[in-house]
Every structure is written in C-alpha cells, then in structure tokens.
C-alpha cells in the first residue's frame, strides 16, 4: 500500500497512492482486495439518470445504498472513496437534483468529490460541504498556474490532463502546494479531454447516422471511426480508412520508476465503464509493480515488466493467437507521457475494431 518511500538522489520520495475505478459493490470489494489505495466511482442521480454526457449508466453505481456498502467495505480496509461528480451544470432545473445528490453521497461518508465543472463547484461551495474537493481532468490542468488557480478555488488535489510529458509533470509538482494526480492506464484521447464535444454532439444530434456508422465499422464513438482524408491542394490525393483521432488504450508500466521520481501523489487507472475483471487485473498489476519498486527489487520489477509485455495487453488470460502487449501497445508506442503519444496505429485495423471482430461483439442498431 501507499506510504512506502524510495530514494531519489538525496531525497526520499513517497510511493504514490493507487486510485482504481469501480462501478458496483462487487467490483469495489474485488478492487480493494486487489490493492487499491482509493476507489473512485459515480452514482446515478434518480431524477436525471438519463442525462448522459461524459459517461453512461454502465459507469455508475446504481443507488445510494450500494454506495454506502462500498464506502463501509473500503473504509474497513483503510481505502478511501472519492466520488465523481463530473457532469456539467447546464440548466437551472438540474440544480435541485444535484444538491440532493451531493447531500446523499456525503451522508454516505465518501472521502472527496471529483469535480469537473465550475457550475457544480459553485453549487458544492454554496452548500458548505465539509469534504475535500479534487479537480477532475476535465478542468484541463496543464501547468502550475492552473493548479494554483484551482487551489485558490478550494481544491486540494488536481488530476492533470493526460497529454503531459514526465518533465512537465515534474515541473508542475515542484511548483504546486496541493496534491497532483495523473492518469496511468486505460483509454486515451487525441483531444484535450475537457475541450472535446464531438462524441456528445454525435450522440444527441446524429444518433441514427452514428448507429449506422457503428454497425458498419464496429466502432463505439466517432473517436474510433476511420475517416477518408483528402488533400485540398491535390485533388487526386486521398487516404482511406485512417484512424485520425485514434482514441485507444494506453499504458505506463515501463515508466513507473520515472513517474515516481516526479513526486506525484496519486496514480489513476481509467476505466469506470469497463468490466470488473479489467478493473481488478489492472489494479493488481500496478499494485505489484509499485510494491516491488518500494522494496527496491528492481530485478524482479524488470522481470515482471518482461512478462507483462509478452502477455495480454489487458492482464488476463487470452487465446494463443491473441496479440501480446508488446505487439498491440509497445510496438506502437502506446505509452503515457511520450512525445508522440497519440500517433495512429500502424495496424490495418484499430484495436477496438479488431477486438470486436475477434470476439464477435456486434453493435446492434
């Protein structure tokens, strides 16, 4: 667990906390047991449960009683439960449900609120809630000036935008007075996270068109679709089926030693919409690696990294003909904190398209 230290130069650096996603009590129990220091989740708001903007109901705990069970189990194991309240405050009619929701969740003894919108922040502060506030990655924090601004607004932790490099993260940590958290594993994004509305626009206004495209390409969102590109200066120059936005999976197992040296406080695994086995497997792998580093067992750490690269990119048993992490992620430099993190895959099929073909996941219209 967090609390151990490693020697970096002339100073001791704490091993960061490991924050993992959950979307159910069952998953919460398993992820806590897998070694998470914190588990984060969202809860459906009964009055506006169909208000889907950033995520869907599959990413949320179903009710407040289930949230209470998660918090009780987590706290009994020394694990904290930050609550995600990432949706934006768009219209006055949702103010009352949001206030009621915040009161219900705080009453269940959650440990912090992860907020991604200034409207929701204003509501939380007007309610005088006695609870730490974490600035979501949707706050687009990419430098120490932004972190300082958010600190002045009352945030005690900032989750940085995922596009940053290690040198930039290190600089932000050095010039910040509050906790800094970074994303380390899971879905990527070719845009600045809090500034993209492409998915939401398509979901609400072009649903039939999107469904047809999804059925044709077996992709989930416009970010995973392939596009035909035309050169406006050369009419005959055309590139077909290009994954130009390339919002797929990323990893940082190899970069953990360098990441720890930045002195970040918390490492966040992405994946509230994923399955329990993924949440547990990913948590277990990162817990093992962090523990090896905290005990300075570098030979075992390097051996484990080699095993990971030769195995499944999702840390679970797969058929023999399934691509390894080396083939699917490493060879395409699908690493967090790289200079060219979001370069398109060189493979003939995108990961999501290929996986759905392999497992016959057909999207129904």
pLDDT in tens, 81-116: 999 998 777 778 889 999 999 999 999 999 999 999
Number of domains composing the chain: 1
133 is a domain residue: yes
Q: Look at residue 53 and tell me whether its pLDDT is greater than 60.
A: no
Q: What is the pLDDT of residue 259?
A: 94
Res. 233 pLDDT band, cuts 50 70 90: confident
3-state SS of 168-193 is HHHHHHHCCCCEEEEEEEEECCCCCH
Q: What is the pLDDT of residue 217?
A: 45
Strands 112-115 and 133-135: parallel
Bridge partners of 230, per DSSP, are 238
* % of the chain exceeding 90 in pLDDT: 52
pLDDT in tens, 6-41: 666 556 788 999 999 999 999 999 999 999 999 999
Strand locations in the chain (E): 5-8, 11-14, 17-21, 38-40, 42-43, 60-61, 82-85, 112-115, 133-135, 157-159, 179-187, 227-231, 234-242, 249-250, 266-269
Q: Which residue has the higher pLDDT, 200 or 270?
A: 270
Q: Which residue has the higher pLDDT, 138 or 211?
A: 138
CATH no. for residue 269?
3.20.20.60
Phi, psi of 23 (to 5 degrees): -140, 15
pLDDT in tens, 160-174: 998 899 999 999 999
Sign of the four-CA dihedral 203, 208, 210, 211: positive
CA-closest candidate to residue 89, choices 131, 134, 39, 125:
125
Q: What is the pLDDT of residue 33?
A: 98
Q: What is the pLDDT of residue 55?
A: 58
58 is a domain residue: yes
Please provide the average confidence, as pLDDT, over all residues in the chain. Answer: 82
235 is a domain residue: no
Place of tokens 């939380």: 124
289 lies in which domain range?
Answer: 5-192+247-299
Q: What is the pLDDT of residue 354?
A: 52
Average pLDDT over residues 272-281: 89
Taking CA 144 as the corner, what is the angle to CA 266 and CA 131, rounded to the nearest 5 degrees?
50
173 is a domain residue: yes
Q: Which residue has the higher pLDDT, 272 or 215?
A: 272
Q: Look at residue 44 and tell me whether its pLDDT is greater than 80.
A: yes
CA–CA distance, 284 with 308 (Å, rounded to integer): 12
205 is a domain residue: no
Average pLDDT over residues 243-272: 87
Q: What is the pTM of this model?
A: 0.85
206 is a domain residue: no
153 is a domain residue: yes
100 is a domain residue: yes
């Amino acid at each position: 667990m967090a609390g151990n230290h490693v020697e970096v130069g002339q100073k001791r650096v704490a091993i960061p906390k490991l924050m993992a996603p959950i979307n159910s009590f069952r998953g919460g129990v398993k992820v806590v047991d897998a070694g998470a220091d914190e588990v984060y989740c969202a809860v459906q708001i009964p009055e506006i449960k169909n208000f889907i903007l950033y995520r869907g109901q599959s990413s949320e705990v179903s009710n407040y009683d289930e949230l209470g069970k998660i918090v009780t189990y987590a706290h009994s194991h020394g694990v904290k439960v930050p609550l995600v309240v990432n949706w934006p405050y768009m219209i006055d009619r949702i103010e009352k449900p949001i206030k009621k929701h915040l009161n219900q969740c705080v009453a269940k003894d959650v440990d912090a609120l992860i907020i991604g919108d200034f409207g929701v922040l204003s509501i939380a502060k007007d309610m005088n809630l006695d609870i730490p506030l974490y600035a979501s990655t949707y706050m687009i924090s990419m430098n120490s000036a932004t972190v300082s601004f958010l600190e002045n607004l009352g945030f005690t932790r900032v989750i940085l935008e995922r596009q940053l490099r290690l040198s930039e993260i290190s600089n932000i940590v050095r010039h910040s007075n509050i906790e800094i958290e970074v994303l380390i594993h899971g879905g990527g994004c070719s845009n600045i996270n809090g500034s993209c509305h492409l998915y939401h626009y398509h979901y609400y206004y072009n649903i039939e068109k999107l469904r047809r495209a999804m059925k044709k390409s077996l992709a989930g969102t416009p970010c995973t679709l392939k596009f035909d590109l035309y050169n406006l200066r050369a009419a005959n120059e055309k590139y077909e089926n290009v994954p130009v936005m390339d919002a797929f999976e990323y990893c940082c197992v190899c970069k953990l030693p360098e990441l720890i040296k930045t002195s970040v406080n918390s490492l966040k695994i992405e994946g509230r919409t994923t399955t329990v086995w993924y949440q547990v497997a990913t948590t277990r792998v990162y817990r093992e690696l962090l523990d090896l580093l905290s005990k300075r067992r570098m030979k075992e750490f390097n051996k484990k990294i080699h095993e990971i690269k030769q195995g499944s990119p999702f840390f679970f048993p797969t058929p023999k003909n399934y691509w390894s992490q080396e083939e699917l992620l490493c060879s395409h430099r699908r690493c967090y904190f790289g200079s060219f993190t979001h370069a398109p895959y060189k493979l003939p099929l995108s990961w999501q398209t290929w996986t759905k073909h392999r497992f016959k996941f057909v999207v129904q219209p």
